[in-house]
Amino acid sequence: MISEGRGGRRGGRTSSARASTSMTTRHALLPFLQSQSQTALTRLYQRPSSCLSIFRLLGPIERQIVMNLLWLEASVPTSALASWVSREGKTPFDDALATLTALHILANAAVKLTLSPAFKTSMRHAVTGGGASASFGVPADLDEKRAPPSVEALDNHALERWETILHYMVSSGTGQTPSRPSQGVLYLLQRSGLMAPNIGQQLQITSPGFQFLLHTPHAQLWELLLQYLQMVEERQMDLVEVLSFLFMLSTMELGRDYSTEFLSETQKAMLEDLRDYGLIWQRKANSRRFCPTRLATTLTSSLPPLPTAAGTGAGSSGQAQGFIILETNYRLYAYTDNPLQTAVLNLFVSVKSRFPNLVVGSITRDSVRKALANGITAEQIISYLTTYAHPQMRKNKPLLPVTVQDQIRLWELERNRVKSQEGYLYTQFASHADYEYVLNYAKQLDTVLWENSAKRCFFGRLEGHANIRGFIERRTGGNPGVNG
Amino acid sequence: MNNASHLSLILDLSPSQWHLSAAPSNTHPLPFKTFLSHVLTFLNSHIAQMHENSLAVFGALPGKSIMLYSSSDVSGGPEVPADSNAYRPFKLMNSIVARNIEAELELLETMGDEPPVALVGALTKALCYINRITHTTSGSSAEDSAVAADPRILILSVSPDLSSSYIPIMNSIFSAQKNKIIIDVCKVYGADTVFLQQAAHLTGGSYIDLERRDALLQYLVMSFLPPPTMRQFIAVPKQDKVDFRAACFCHKNIVDIGFVCSVCLSIFCSPVPVCSTCRTKFPMKTLQRLNASRPAVPSANGSANGTPRPPSKPATPMSASLR
């Protein structure tokens, strides 16, 4: 009788997709930092490496503002600096000031601009070098009998750890049993809601987990690290120590080993976790030196190069990034021998045949609907295909065939035909005048979702029910013909 | 807007000019050492902006130009001892630049007479370098080309104009225009240079003559740190009037009124019967008419000595001052 049934779709779906697109404009860590107390941030800003890393996470205009103010001793009137942005830059400039104030990098942005003293001192040290904070990592003594591992060895180590995690996620529930990551990683995956135990107490991937798999490695890494930071308090660790260690790692040099001697207790405890994620490498668990891997040293670069994690499985072949060729006839060729990438493709492609270095499949309605049912959105599929498109595909404009893109979106829309909305149906009005009268009132409240004057009934929003009910009761003075 | 950008810096390393600049008779004496520390801090800020920002430093020395540093090739540098208080890329770059400048200046001391600085050489090298990095990266994949996008050149000049280098500088400007490279100029010491003003104007860069030379770093950071894509949001100072005078091809003098070959557009300070560039012969009648129409007083043509003066553009039909 009424089209607004309850067999609905969840409304919160789009929020995560939006969050991932805003990654390009704003780093995921910044909101987390903003939620921290001023004292915590001031402690964090004591260390030049933290300042440098946070500075790199900021947007371009924010960085420029910080640089302009860095060498000034006196404060600058806000209007003076504002006169220096063009008309189009007004909104971004104000946003930038708000962000910097929220991060307590700017002391107060209302009238006068000045950097907070702690940030200013440390940032100056970071740019010129100097101070005695040892925040860029103390290198281990060189001439021991064991040289630090080569960059390739580090890359392989990081790749292996990272892919173990992803592969475990993607193949959970499929019956395969790949090597399990460590207990700490499993706990983190469970806490972040990327995996959840099913009836048999086996961990199984959730719909956010599926979405996670399609993100870029850089975004995936930060997602896990943010989750790690959320857990820090529970584990009675000092958040500032944890953050500054991460930032220190991001300013370290690849292929150099550093001493653990000068780390605090918290940071030494972190070594084990970071080793599990593949961010650092240690010869033995109790070794007194560690090497950051490429996952760690690229934490604050804005482009996600991470050649290790994005590359093809072999790691030796130079053509990192792209391996997917998609044709207008929905056929897909993926030049990969990496089981992880094959498994991820399997989420939304029906694989026809596999060769030693090639997977051939096609995108079908069923395969895409399966992915949609897992909580993956059409946009995520398209952005995954775009990110990993083969260099040959990059010559095309637009990069992906429009037919395929549109069709994937249409398949998604297919599932969104029905929208659910809670409310009340009002029927059995005594007369048409009655009906019109109540309907007009409901229209004034803007709560009418659907009406049918022939049947003398209409459907109103949940919020408006109390008002309409009261209105009808006042009018009839008795029991109205309302069908809740 | 959040792409990496490339900066090619050209340092004018003329010992005599720097000696003059450091003289205490200036209102704000700026010795080379202070200058270098400001510049290195500025370069650090450029790299600090983004992990992927690239950098090349060129030096224009008397009689020759060299590349002092490039971020794409840091191997072969000195082994810098690791320091836990400094970000290693900064330290490495600073020590390489400082060491190379020192080595070059040491070589100079043996020379007697000082030839003019090879600014053109450095500019050309910078252009070639940018051309190379944009081409190698765009060849591999479209994603990588973002790394080298947004190239710009910054010239820190202390030497006066060298009128003999007019043609090569103009040619460099045209190739920079073609490759969409912005040329920024900061005049650290000395009078305005006409050619570099034109370079900045024609490529859409900014030309700044320092007023407070002790605040060099602040000037650099505020005007030259924003990459070209950001300059639509941030107003970078531009010069309001530009000296557009050209140098003649025959005597290399800066002229107010020039005579332009109608075939190849070469500029001469006086009417010539045969164009020295393309060998075109001009009819005697035209020459006579042009000679007649020239300003009678020779001193009106006397900008041949290159003194700066505001451009005057008389409306002589056959003569043209080059724009």
CB nearest to A67's CB, from B50, B142, B225: B225
Domain with B262, as residue range(s), is 246-305
pLDDT score for B74: 67
Among B43, B84, B214, which would you mutate to test the A interface (most chain A Cβ atoms within 10 Å of its Cβ)? B84
Last residue of a domain, one of B182, B210, B232: B232
| Distance of residue B230 Cα from the nearest chain A Cα, in angstroms | 8
Tell me, yes or no, whether B15 and B65 share the same domain.
yes
Tell me, yes or no, whether A86 and A164 share the same domain.
no
Kindly tell me the sign of the dihedral angle through the C-alpha atoms of B108, B114, B119, B120.
negative
Q: Which residues contact A140 (CB under 8 A, 6 or more apart)?
A: A257, A258, A259, A288, A289
Token pair for residue B75? 């191997």
d(CA A204, CA A201): 9
> Do the domain assignments include residue B323?
no
> Do the domain assignments include residue B129?
yes
CB nearest to B91's CB, from A67, A129, A262: A129
CB distance from B233 to chain A under 8 Å? Answer: yes
| Distance of residue A139 Cα from the nearest chain B Cα, in angstroms | 7
d(CA B295, CA B293): 6
Tell me, yes or no, whether A357 and A409 share the same domain.
yes
- Cβ contact, residue pair A56, B50, below 8 Å: yes
Mean pLDDT of A47-74: 89
Tell me, yes or no, whether B188 and B251 share the same domain.
no
Q: Which residues contact A289 (CB under 8 A, 6 or more apart)?
A: A140, A148, A257, A258, A259, A260, A282, A283
pLDDT score for A408: 92
pLDDT score for B302: 39
Domain with A242, as residue range(s), is 151-297
> Do the domain assignments include residue B312?
no
Tell me, yes or no, whether B130 and B199 share the same domain.
yes
CB distance from B25 to chain A under 8 Å? Answer: no
Tell me, yes or no, whether B301 and B153 share the same domain.
no
- Quickly list DSSP for A331-355: EEEE----HHHHHHHTTTSEEEEEE
> Do the domain assignments include residue A9?
no
Tell me, yes or no, whether A202 and A324 share the same domain.
no
Mean pLDDT of A452-474: 85
CB nearest to B226's CB, from A64, A70, A130: A64
pLDDT score for A359: 92
CB distance from B139 to chain A under 8 Å? Answer: no
Q: How confident is the model at residue A2 (pLDDT cuts 50, 70, 90)?
A: very low
> Do the domain assignments include residue A212?
yes
For all residues of chain B together, what is the average pLDDT? 80
Q: How confident is the model at residue A10 (pLDDT cuts 50, 70, 90)?
A: very low
Nearest residue to B319 (alpha-carbon basis) of B243, B255, B231: B255
Nearest residue to A49 (alpha-carbon basis) of A221, A240, A276: A240
Identify the closest residue of chain A to B219 by CA–CA distance: A68
pLDDT score for B154: 94
pLDDT score for B297: 52
Binding-face residues of B in 29-48 toward A, CB within 8 A: 41, 44-45, 48
Tell me, yes or no, whether A447 and A430 share the same domain.
yes
Tell me, yes or no, whether A277 and A331 share the same domain.
no
> Do the domain assignments include residue A3?
no
Kindly tell me the sign of the dihedral angle through the C-alpha atoms of A142, A279, B146, A338.
positive
Tell me, yes or no, whether B167 and B128 share the same domain.
yes
Lowest model confidence (mean pLDDT) among A14-18, A383-387, B89-93: A14-18
CB distance from B142 to chain A under 8 Å? Answer: yes
Tell me, yes or no, whether A160 and A278 share the same domain.
yes
d(CA A209, CA B17): 65
- Cβ contact, residue pair A84, B85, below 8 Å: no
Last residue of a domain, one of B232, B256, B275: B232
List the CATH number of the domain containing B45: 3.40.50.410
Last residue of a domain, one of A128, A160, A184: A128
d(CA B41, CA B224): 13
Q: How confident is the model at residue B140 (pLDDT cuts 50, 70, 90)?
A: very low
Tell me, yes or no, whether A283 and A200 share the same domain.
yes
Chain A residue numbers touching B53 (CB-CB < 8 A): none
Q: Which value does ipTM take for this structure?
A: 0.79
- Cβ contact, residue pair A25, B2, below 8 Å: yes
Binding-face residues of A in 269-308 toward B, CB within 8 A: 298, 300-303
- Cβ contact, residue pair A71, B233, below 8 Å: no
- Cβ contact, residue pair A391, B146, below 8 Å: no
Chain A residue numbers touching B54 (CB-CB < 8 A): none
Q: Is B320 a residue whose pLDDT tops 60?
A: no
| Distance of residue B44 Cα from the nearest chain A Cα, in angstroms | 6
Tell me, yes or no, whether B206 and B115 share the same domain.
yes
Residue B191 has a CB neighbour count (10 Å cut-off) of 11
- Give CA separation, A41 vs A36, A104, A121, A223, B141, in Å: 7, 7, 14, 21, 40
Last residue of a domain, one of A415, A440, A463: A415
Give how many domains chain B has, as a whole number. Answer: 2
A404-408: long-range pairs with CB below 8 Å, 24+: A404/A326, A404/A328, A404/A330, A404/A363, A407/A330, A407/A363, A408/A363, A408/A368, A408/A378, A408/A381, A408/A382
Lowest model confidence (mean pLDDT) among A192-196, A265-269, A311-315: A311-315
- Cβ contact, residue pair B233, A134, below 8 Å: no
| Distance of residue A67 Cα from the nearest chain B Cα, in angstroms | 7
Tell me, yes or no, whether B217 and B98 share the same domain.
yes
> Do the domain assignments include residue B179?
yes
Tell me, yes or no, whether A198 and A233 share the same domain.
yes
pLDDT score for A189: 85
> Do the domain assignments include residue A121?
yes
Mean pLDDT of A4-14: 37
Nearest residue to B45 (alpha-carbon basis) of A126, A160, A279: A126
pLDDT greater at residue A180 or residue B170: B170
> Do the domain assignments include residue B188?
yes
- Cβ contact, residue pair A85, B234, below 8 Å: yes
Tell me, yes or no, whether B207 and B285 share the same domain.
no
Last residue of a domain, one of A128, A161, A183: A128
Q: Is B323 a residue whose pLDDT tops 60?
A: no
Give how many domains chain A has, as a whole number. Answer: 4
CB pairs under 8 A between A and B: 119
> Do the domain assignments include residue B239?
no
pLDDT digits 0-9 by tens, A92-117 = 888 888 888 888 888 876 778 888 88
Q: Is A23 a residue whose pLDDT tops 80?
A: no
Tell me, yes or no, whether A104 and A192 share the same domain.
no
Q: Is A350 a residue whose pLDDT tops 90?
A: yes
Tell me, yes or no, whether A463 and A342 share the same domain.
no
Tell me, yes or no, whether B200 and B258 share the same domain.
no
DSSP tag of B60: E
- Quickly list DSSP for A152-173: HHHHHHHHHHHHHHHHHHHHTT
- Give CA separation, A178 vs A163, A172, A175, A181, A198, in Å: 11, 9, 10, 9, 18
pLDDT greater at residue B316 or residue B10: B10
CB nearest to A321's CB, from B141, B222, B226: B141
Tell me, yes or no, whether A157 and A280 share the same domain.
yes
Nearest residue to B264 (alpha-carbon basis) of B277, B281, B273: B277
Tell me, yes or no, whether B257 and B136 share the same domain.
no
CB distance from A25 to chain B under 8 Å? Answer: yes
Percent with pLDDT over 70 in chain B: 82
Percent with pLDDT over 90 in chain B: 19
Mean pLDDT of B226-248: 82
CB nearest to B233's CB, from A86, A126, A322: A86
pLDDT digits 0-9 by tens, B199-213 = 999 998 889 888 888
Tell me, yes or no, whether B225 and B276 share the same domain.
no
Strands (E), A14-116: 76-77, 112-113
- Cβ contact, residue pair B51, A298, below 8 Å: yes
Tell me, yes or no, whether B257 and B151 share the same domain.
no
d(CA A258, CA B29): 44
pLDDT score for A477: 66
Tell me, yes or no, whether A406 and A430 share the same domain.
no
> Do the domain assignments include residue A90?
yes
SS (H, E, C) A114-136: CECHHHHHHHHHHHHCCCCCCCC
pLDDT score for A329: 92
Lowest model confidence (mean pLDDT) among A1-5, A357-361, A414-418: A1-5
> Do the domain assignments include residue B42?
yes
pLDDT digits 0-9 by tens, B76-88 = 556 666 677 788 8
- Cβ contact, residue pair B143, A131, below 8 Å: no
pLDDT score for B305: 42
Strands (E), A239-379: 258-259, 280-281, 289-292, 324-326, 331-334, 350-355, 358-362
Q: How confident is the model at residue A142 (pLDDT cuts 50, 70, 90)?
A: low
For all residues of chain A together, what is the average pLDDT? 80
pLDDT greater at residue A353 or residue B318: A353
Q: What is the largest CA-CA distance in chain A?
A: 98
- Cβ contact, residue pair A134, B84, below 8 Å: yes
Residue A102 has a CB neighbour count (10 Å cut-off) of 16
pLDDT score for A177: 66
> Do the domain assignments include residue B318?
no
Chain B residue numbers touching A61 (CB-CB < 8 A): 230, 233-234
| Distance of residue B182 Cα from the nearest chain A Cα, in angstroms | 19
Chain B residue numbers touching A49 (CB-CB < 8 A): 87
